[in-house]
Amino acid sequence: MLDPFTHDIDEFYIKKTDGYLVVPFENFTEQGPEDFCIDYFPEKDAHLPLLCFPPNDDDLTNQLIYTMYPVGMLVSIPFLLVTFLVYALIPELRNLHGKSLMCHVSSLLMAYTFLAVVQLGGTSLNDATCIASAIDKYL
């Protein structure tokens, strides 16, 4: 919100010709009508503009995170599978602790697989895949 009553630097005016908001103390920055709205503030008894923030650079960071997490899970899957197979094939390891570990590893294996598919597939997945993934993660 630009509030010239509180901060002198928030001085503004709106051009009548094209409706652009001009902020003189910001190097005469112009904001198009799609980038702000005017609202009445009763405590100030004035109509003041509310500016929309431009998209930030976090989109690249988010894209990197949403790519690296599933890649990390996909890298883990073969190792989880090998761990499961070792415990399944060696009889000495099939005691109570080994079976418990096998259950845990198989659970992680399924969860990582479905989660990586959903995160990499995004909105291009069909409904059946999303439902199967949700059921897998829930159970």
Mean pLDDT of 48-62: 73
In a domain, residue 1? The reply is no
The mean pLDDT value for 3-9 works out to 74
Q: What is the mean pLDDT of residues 72-84?
A: 97
Measured CA to CA in angstroms, residue 134 lies from 7, 44, 131 at distances of 51, 50, 5
Give the C-alpha separation, 49 to 19, whole Å: 12
pLDDT exceeds cutoff 90 at 75: yes
pLDDT recorded at residue 55:
65
Q: Tell me, what's the pLDDT at 120?
A: 86
The boundaries of the domain holding residue 28 are 8-51
Residues 33 and 66 in one domain: no
Mean pLDDT of 112-116: 89
46 plus 62 within the same structural domain: no
- Are 13 and 63 in the same domain? no
Domain count for the chain, please give it.
2
pTM reported for the whole predicted model: 0.55
**pLDDT of the residue at 76:** 97
pLDDT recorded at residue 12: 78
Residue 137 banded pLDDT, cuts 50, 70, 90: confident
Q: Are residues 118 and 67 in the same domain?
A: yes
Supply the mean pLDDT for the chain. 85
Comparison of pLDDT for 118 and 96, the residue scoring more: 96
- Mark whether 124 and 66 lie in a shared domain: yes
